[in-house]
Amino acid sequence: MNNQKTLILPSTNAGIEKGAKLLLQGEIVAFPTETVYGLGACVFNQSAIQKIYIAKGRPTDNPLIIHCAERADVERVAVQIPALFDTLFQKFAPGPLTMILKKHDVVPDSVCAGLPTVAVRFPQHPVAQALIRRVGEPLVAPSANRSGYVSPTKANHVMDDLAGRISAVIDGGACAVGVESTVLNILLNPPVILRPGMIKKEDIEQVLGLPIAERLSTELVNIPQSPGTKYRHYQPEAKVILITKDSEAKQFSDNPKHQPLWQTSTEPLPGYQLLHEQNVYDLFREADKQHIKTIIVLCNAEPPYNSALMNRLQKAAEISFLPHDESIVRTS
Ligand code: TXA
Ligand code: MG
C-alpha cells in the first residue's frame, strides 16, 4: 500500500481516460475539483472505499461526499429527495455546495459511516465532471490529504501526502475556490450549515426565501450530524496563533522581523501578507516545508468575518485571541 507507483496524469482526455480506467479497476485516483483535490473511488465499490480510508489514515466513522455529474445520478444514491434540493440544485449546481439527503439502500455503509444519510455534491471543475461521466457512476471523494492535515489545492500537495499510497493524481493546476464545499443539511427544519464554505448562509437564504441555521440547536449539537467536524482538521505542523491586534504578535515571535505575519482583513498593514481562501492551505504547507514554528494571523475582531476562512483558521489554531465560538469544536 505504501510503495505503489503513483502516476501524475495530465488533465487531457488521455489523462482522464487513464484515471477512469484505474477507478473502474477498483483503484483510487485523486482529481481536481473547484474547491480542493479529492481522492476518488467508485461509490459502489466497497474495497476501493476501504483503500481511501487506509491511504488517508481516516477514521472510519467519518463519512464521504458523493460527487455526481448529472441530476439523474442523485436518484442512484438517495431517496425521498425534497423539493428544496431542486431549488438549490438549480441555483448552485454545479458548484461548491454539498447537500445531505436520505441514503439509498444500495450505497455501501462504509460511504456514510453507518449514517442513514448521504452527502451529495456536483463539482464544477471540468476534469471532475469528465471523470465522473467517463466512469459512468458517482465517485466518493474526501479531500486528498493525510487525515487531519491541510487540504490539498495543488497536485503536488497530493503527492506530498499520498505518493506511494494511491494509483494516480490528475493534475488540473491550482483549485479556484481553495476551501472545501459548504455542507448543508436540508433534512433538518430549518436547514443547517454543517460546514461553512464559499456559498454563504445569505446566498442560500435568498434562494430559499427562508432563514437557515448556521449552527446546530443545543438539542442536536451532541448527536453527530457531520462526524468529520469533530476531528482535528486543517492543521499544519506550525503552531497557528490568531491575534486581533498587531501588538499581540510580539509575545509569540523571537524575531518579529523574520516572522511571516498574515492578516485576514483586506486593509493592508505594513509587514503583513494577505491571507484568503485561495492561499491559506498553500501557505500552511509552505510554512511547514520551511520549518516555520509559528504562523501568526491578524484577524478581524468584529464581524463581518469570512465564515469559511475563519472556520478553517479557528480549527487550525493552537492559540486564539478571538471571542470563543461554540460552533468550532476542536478535539484531538
Ligand atoms: O469541497 C469538498 O467538499 C471536498 C471536495 C473534494 O469535494 N471534499 C471534502 O471531503 O471536503 P471531506 O471528506 O474532507 O469532508 C467531508 C465532510 C466531513 O466533514 C463529513 O463528516 C461530512 O462532509 N459528511 C459526509 N457525509 C455526511 C453525512 N451523511 N452527513 C453529514 N455530514 C457528512
Ligand atoms: Mg477533508
Residue ID of nearest Cα to ligand 1 atom 32: 226
pLDDT of residue 101: 98
Percentage, residues of the chain above pLDDT 90: 74
CB-based burial of residue 110 (10 Å sphere; 0-12 exposed, 13-18 middle, 19+ buried)? middle
Q: What does the angle CA 259 – CA 264 – CA 265 come to, to the nearest 5 degrees?
A: 120
CA 107, 127, 129, 313 torsion: positive or negative?
A: positive
Mean pLDDT to the nearest integer, 209-226: 65
Q: What spacing in Å lies between the alpha carbon of 105 and ligand 1's midpoint?
A: 20
Which of 268, 255, 258, 330 is CA-nearest to residue 298?
A: 268
Residue ID of nearest Cα to ligand 1 atom 20: 228
C-beta of 228 in contact with ligand 1 (< 6 A): yes
Mean pLDDT to the nearest integer, 73-89: 98
Which three-class secondary structure state does DSSP give residue 197? coil
7 strand-pairing partners: 168
Mean pLDDT to the nearest integer, 186-190: 94
pLDDT of residue 221: 46
C-beta of 38 in contact with ligand 1 (< 6 A): yes
pLDDT at 45 over 50: yes
Average predicted confidence (pLDDT) for the chain = 90
Q: What spacing in Å lies between the alpha carbon of 210 and ligand 2's midpoint?
A: 29
Q: Among the listed ranges 12-16, 73-77, 252-256, which one has the minimum average pLDDT value? A: 252-256
Q: What spacing in Å lies between the alpha carbon of 142 and ligand 2's midpoint?
A: 6
Residue ID of nearest Cα to ligand 1 atom 27: 119
- The CA-atom distances, in angstroms, between 144 and each of 35, 36, 267, 328 are 12, 8, 33, 23
At residue 330 the predicted structure's pLDDT band, cuts being 50, 70 and 90, is very low
pLDDT of residue 329: 47
- The CA-atom distances, in angstroms, between 171 and each of 118, 125, 197, 233 are 28, 12, 23, 24
Q: Among the listed ranges 87-91, 122-126, 171-175, 235-239, which one has the minimum average pLDDT value? A: 235-239
Mean pLDDT to the nearest integer, 226-246: 78
pLDDT at 225 over 60: no
CB 212 within 8 A of CB 204: yes
Residue 195 CA: nearest ligand 1 atom is 19
pLDDT at 220 over 50: no
Q: Any idea which residue has 491586534 for its cell?
A: 245
Q: What spacing in Å lies between the alpha carbon of 22 and ligand 2's midpoint?
A: 22
Question: CA-CA distance, 89 to 319, in Å (whole number)?
Answer: 39
Residues with CB under 5 A from ligand 2 (ion): 143
pLDDT at 223 over 60: no
- Which of 226, 311, 331 has most ligand 1 atoms within 8 Å of its beta carbon, as the pocket-test mutant? 226
Mean pLDDT to the nearest integer, 214-242: 67
C-beta of 112 in contact with ligand 1 (< 6 A): yes
Question: CA-CA distance, 275 to 267, in Å (whole number)?
Answer: 11
C-beta of 141 in contact with ligand 1 (< 6 A): yes
User: What's the count of helices (H) and strands (E) in the chain, helices before strands?
Assistant: 10, 16
Q: What is the pLDDT of residues 263-306, one digit of tens each?
A: 997 778 888 999 999 999 999 999 999 999 899 999 987 777 78
Which ligand is in closest contact with the Cα of 176?
A: 1
Cis peptide before 190 (omega within 30 of 0): yes
- The CA-atom distances, in angstroms, between 52 and each of 47, 62, 111, 178, 330 are 9, 12, 10, 22, 24
Question: CA-CA distance, 247 to 102, in Å (whole number)?
Answer: 50
Question: CA-CA distance, 168 to 183, in Å (whole number)?
Answer: 27
At residue 253 the predicted structure's pLDDT band, cuts being 50, 70 and 90, is confident
pLDDT at 77 over 50: yes
Mean pLDDT to the nearest integer, 17-45: 98
DSSP one-letter code for 319: E
pLDDT of residue 216: 55
C-beta of 119 in contact with ligand 1 (< 6 A): yes
Question: CA-CA distance, 229 to 194, in Å (whole number)?
Answer: 8
